Amino acid sequence: MASVTKFFPYTQRTISKAPQWKRFTSEMRHTIEVLSQVLPFRVNQYILDELIDWDNIPDDPIYRLTFPHREMLREDEFSLLSDAIRSEKDESTIRAIVSNIRNRMNPHPAGQLTHNVPILDGKPVPGLQHKYKETVLFFPSSGQTCHAYCTFCFRWPQFVGMDELKFEARTSLILVEYLKHHPEVTDVLITGGDPMIMNARALGDYIRPLLIPELNHVKNIRIGTKSVAYWPQRYVTDKDADDVLRLFGEVVASGKNLALMAHYNHAQEIQTEIAQTALKRIIATGATVRMQSPLIRHINESPQGWATLWTTGVRLGAIPYYMFVERDTGPNEYFGLPLYKAWEIFQQAYKSVSGLARTVRGPSMSTLPGKVMIDGITEIAGEKVFALQFLQARNPDWVRRPFFAKYDPKASWLDHLKPAFGETHFFFEKKDKVIHEEAKIEIVTA
């Protein structure tokens, strides 16, 4: 079992107190100082002690997953910010540089601010997103942090003080009211941040109102969490671990399905004894655990690593769910891979596991019009193409409808692709306007 039982997070201000700090070169320390001005940084002693191979830094995948690297910024951006810090420029100058870098990083991809915020009584509903008919996302204010931050995180604006881009709700009252008006909603995804950062009482205050008879149409309560990997003690040795598990059992006993959407980014995260114990204890409550992760350059490019992750999860009772394409936000230039490479890695991993692990879907892009999966690379009528389909879409009629894009070895996102076979637009774009910039795609909703 893990030697670390007391949760203590390190930030840029306190990381020098960690025992492992002596292993960092002066350049590595400066990189952390520079990057943490732009992107969130937070790690804990369990990760430092149990998950990172310190004889393999900076190339260890968990190190790259949690500690910033110089290449996460463009060279000119890093140099500008580094020089400003080293020359002790005034705070306003540094803030201006940081703001310009953040705004360049596409802080709200896939229309999160412009297309996903629902309306109730003519007003936007704070702390909710409603992109797909069946599913509402809920962002409790008490869950707007994590046990550690991932360097690739697509929700990084939630953690860096960009309040105008932050989603949060202080109670579940507005969620309950919204759900009463939307009987088509079957799933509520409680996300963040990480809801499992909350204590059992606070978590229960958000979840129990969803169990009332008026919300019988809500069949599934999902919790998006990285805690199973970054702090499995949450379900084993934390003082309210048993209370959390009893809450899970209460949800299951109410007749609803409780699903933990578990973010495992690397097989190492599921190998420790306490991580496996946590998973077994969660599943024993009747909750389901679904495993998901983006494909991240420098971290999990190995097909065998994915196969190990999925098969280990299946052995412990979890369900492989999604391999995502790295989103077009934050330091995606550093972490992203071309679509053809993503498909090759998925295919190699998928064909090496049994049917029990082939519940996984991918590679999937969470784009403005919906979740687009790369089905394959093929040749039709002499043209090499990507075969694509929507797994989820703003317009449900688009789901599972095949479409094709010209093969492009440099493409890493949907808006890099062009229609195949001489077409001027994809079927979900307006016919009279060819637009390839995702943020400006005009959606056909009728």
Residue-wise pLDDT for 270-308, tens only, equals: 999 999 999 999 999 999 999 999 999 999 999 999 999
Helix (H) / strand (E) element for 290: namely: strand 288-295
Question: Sorting pLDDT into bands at 50, 70 and 90, what band is 438?
Answer: very low
Q: Could you report the per-residue pLDDT of 4-55, keeping only the tens digit for each?
A: 899 999 999 999 999 999 999 999 999 999 999 999 899 999 999 999 999 9
If you count them, how many residues does the chain have?
Answer: 446
Nearest CA to 298 out of 28, 67, 45 is that of: 67
Q: Would you state the pLDDT for residue 88?
A: 83
- In angstroms, the CA 228 to CA 261 distance is 10
User: Where exactly are the structural domains of the chain?
Assistant: 9-105, 368-445
Cβ(364)–Cβ(321) below 8 Å:
no
312 pLDDT higher than 90: yes
Q: b vs e for 422-443, b when ≥16 Cβ sit within 10 Å of the residue's Cβ?
A: ebeebebbeeeeeeeebeebeb
Compute and round to an integer the Cα radius of gyration of the chain. 22
**What pLDDT is recorded for position 105?**
85
Amino acid at 197: I
Mean pLDDT of 144-163: 80
pLDDT-derived band at 443 (thresholds 50, 70, 90) equals very low
Provide the 3-class DSSP secondary structure of residue 24: coil
- Evaluate whether 195 touches 228 at the Cβ level (below 8 Å): no
Angle between helices 75-86 and 26-38 (to 10 degrees): 100
CA distances from 20 to 34, 52, 59 (A): 19, 10, 16
Report the alpha-carbon distance of residue 261 to residue 259 in Å, rounded. Answer: 6
Q: In the predicted model, what is the mean pLDDT of the chain?
A: 92
**Alpha-carbon gap, residue 414 to 190, rounded angstroms:** 27
pLDDT value, residue 166: 58
pLDDT in tens, 364-409: 999 999 999 999 999 999 999 999 999 999 999 999 999 999 999 9
Tell me, what DSSP letter sits at residue 318? -
- In the chain, the N- to C-terminal Cα span, in Å, equals 55
What is the C-alpha separation between 173 and 38, in angstroms, rounded?
34
Tokens of 183: 């009987």
- Statement: residue 110 has pLDDT above 60: no
Q: Tens digits of per-residue pLDDT, 210-264?
A: 999 999 999 999 999 999 999 999 999 999 999 999 999 999 999 999 999 999 9
Mean pLDDT, to the nearest integer, of 155-173? 69
Res. 112: pLDDT tops 60 = no
Kindly give the pairing relationship between strand 220-225 and strand 135-138. unpaired
Q: How confident is the model at residue 168 (pLDDT cuts 50, 70, 90)?
A: low
pLDDT at 435 over 80: no
Strand partners, 393: 370
Greater confidence (119 vs 338) lies with 338
